[in-house]
Structures are given as C-alpha cells and as structure tokens.
Amino acid sequence: MVTISDIAKELNLSISTVSRAFTNPEMVKEVTRKQIIEKADEMGYQVNMIASQLRNKSSKLIALVSLQPRMSWFTDDLLNGAQEYVREEGYEIVTLNAHNAKVDSISICERMRFAGIIIAATELGRDVEVKRSKMLPTVYVNRMSEEGNNILTDDAAGISDLMDYLYSIGHRKIGYISGPENSLNSVIRLNTFKKKMQEYDLPVRDEWIERGEWMAEDAREAARNILSLPEYPTVLVAANDQMCIGVYQAIQEKGLVVGRDISVAGYDNTEFSQWMNPPLTTVSLPLYEMGQIAARTLLMKIEGKEEIKKEQIVRGELIIRESTRTV
C-alpha cells in the first residue's frame, strides 16, 4: 500500500512536503505540488484516513444507527435528508444496523471514533434497547432519551389535522384502529383521536375502536369486527398505512367499495399508499426533514457551537387522496 513516504522517496522530497501538498496545498510551491499530485495519482495513492485520524483525533464520518430489522422506508428517507445536509459540511454518513448485531453498534461507532451518531427508531418507545454513548455526540430520531437531543414527529398535530378534515367533510361516525399500547406514537395518535372526538362532542364508541400490531393482517381482523356491527362508521382511521391494506381487504370482502361506501385514512404516507386502490388519504411522516434537522443538530453538537434544543418536533402534512370522501 502506497504511503506519503513512498511518494517522497520517488520524488526526493520529505514526507512533510508531500503531506502538505494534500492538506495545505498553498504552503507548497506550485510545481512541487503538481509533481506530487501527479506521482500520487500514478502510484494510486489514497490518504490513509486511519493514520490521519489518529493524529488529528477527528473523524468526518457520522453513523446512522437503525434499530429495525429492516431499514426500509423509514431509515431511507431519514438518511436522504441527513445525507444532503452533512455532505455540504464535508461529512459522510454510514449506516449501521443494530438489529442482531454481535457487537453493539454504538460500541462500534465509539471504537471507530466516528464523529457522531444518529439513532433512528421507527417506534417511539418500542424498539430494541440501545446503549447510550458516553463518548460520542448523539441525536435520537423518534426516540425519547434523557441525555441526547430528540427529533420527534408531531403525531398529535397529524391526527388532529386528519380529524378536522374528516369532520369538515361531514364524517361523524369515525372508527379507529390503533397500534400497540406500548408504542408511544400509537398512544399519542389514539389519545388525540379521542380528544378530538370529545372536542366535536361526538361519542367515543368502544366497539368502533380496535387495536392491531401495525400489521395488515391485524387490521383486517379489526375492520371485520367493526364492519360486522349492526351499525358501523362512515370512515375508518388506522394508525398507520400498513394496516389500511387490511382495512381495504375487509371492506372489499363485505362487498363495499373504499372511498365510495366507506372512507379510510392512514398515517405515515409510506410509498405504497399512493398506489393503493383507491390511493390512500394519510398524514406524512416528515422523515426527510427530520433527517436534515437531526444532521444539523448533530453537527452543532460535534462542533460544540450554540446551545441546542432538547426536543424538536416536526409536523407532518395531511395528504388527501381518493380513499376519503364527503358524506
């Protein structure tokens, strides 16, 4: 493997000059520099960041640690947002998957002396437990942590917007399929649903509230239960998009048509929601933006600049499609 010393030897220069040609080019005479760069290219030289990091004690690599078995849509959009931001500042992001790891991912980040860590959890309060880093600046996305900085989505505002919209187009009989009890996102969404119902002076009917584990299958079962009642709602809200697939199935089984006979709305704006038939009304998770904010916050911590907010809450957007309609 070629080193600056190899280049120096070839050119009869000192290693310091070669080093400077790369890190402080203006300190090296034009012609010498040209020579060095050329020779380096020819020899296939690449700076050894390992060595330079040991010397400088500073890394330009940020870890995005994903707590899910599959990285998928959640990490993906988050990454894009974060990436765009950090690249402007000369950093790069590498993604680690904490699921099933032999050595915990946080330790890997620490041992590699990465510049900082972004932790991404899909479910507030439910993902794998993860060691907190005492060594590296960390920000948490969709996870509450006492010590770090938390970037959260405004689930209450999201459901609130959705409910207002449904109310405004005439819905009064609203069914709800919640996520699991131990997910904070789920709890917030459900509570907001109930709160809004009270606000509208509408009864919260227990038989119209079901619960699932975020999965299509659970929701199909749940929707079947609700639809088999003597009276059922004019709209079914599910706590995430995935469950709406099951809701669509149950509705179809009953010979009804989504968006005509009964409305459906979800949450997350996952990619396939636009491809459903009919396309699903939902609330977006502002992942791209959360990624950017996470990145900005992390870089501020890394560079030890200003005081940073403990919590930043980002609002999603109501996306109206054909699965909901006026009654």
Partner DNA sequence: TTGAAAGCGCTAACAG
Partner DNA sequence: CTGTTAGCGCTTTCAA
Which residues are near DNA by CB under 7 A?
Answer: 1, 3-5, 12-17, 19-20, 22-24, 26-30, 32-33, 45, 47-48, 51-52, 54-57
Q: Should residue 87 be labelled a site residue for its own copies when binding is judged by CB under 8 A?
A: yes
Whether the CB-CB separation of 211 and 217 falls below 8 Å is answered with no
Among the candidate windows 82-90, 142-150, 157-165, 317-325, which touches its own copies by CB under 8 A? 82-90
Q: What residue type is assigned to position 198 of the chain? A: Q
Interactions with its own copies, residue window 117-136 (CB under 8 A)? 134-135
Q: Tell me how far apart the alpha carbons of residues 80 and 278 are, in angstroms, rounded to a whole number.
A: 28
In this chain, which stretch among 50-58, 148-156, 179-187, 189-197 interacts with its own copies, using CB under 8 A? Answer: 50-58
Is 97 one of the binding residues for its own copies (CB under 8 A)? yes
Both structure tokens of 307: 């005081």
DSSP 154: -
Closest CB to its own copies among 64 and 162?
A: 64
Tokens for 286, please give them: 């502002």
Compute CA distances 311 → 111, 142, 183, 259, 308, whole Å.
28, 10, 19, 38, 9
- As measured in angstroms, the least distance from the Cβ of 253 to its own copies is 11
The DSSP bridge pattern shows strands 282-283 and 318-319 to be: antiparallel
135 binds, among DNA, its own copies, none (CB under 5 to 8 A by kind): its own copies
CB 99, CB 128: distance < 8 Å: yes
90: partner contacted, choices its own copies, DNA, none (Cβ within 5-8 A by kind)? its own copies
Q: Is 319 helix (H, G, I), strand (E, B) or coil?
A: strand
Radius of gyration of the chain (CA): 26
Instruction: List residues near its own copies by CB under 8 A.
Output: 1, 44, 46-51, 53-54, 57, 61, 63, 69-73, 75-77, 79-80, 83-84, 87, 90, 92-97, 100-103, 105, 107-108, 110-113, 134-135, 216, 245, 248-249, 252, 272, 275, 277
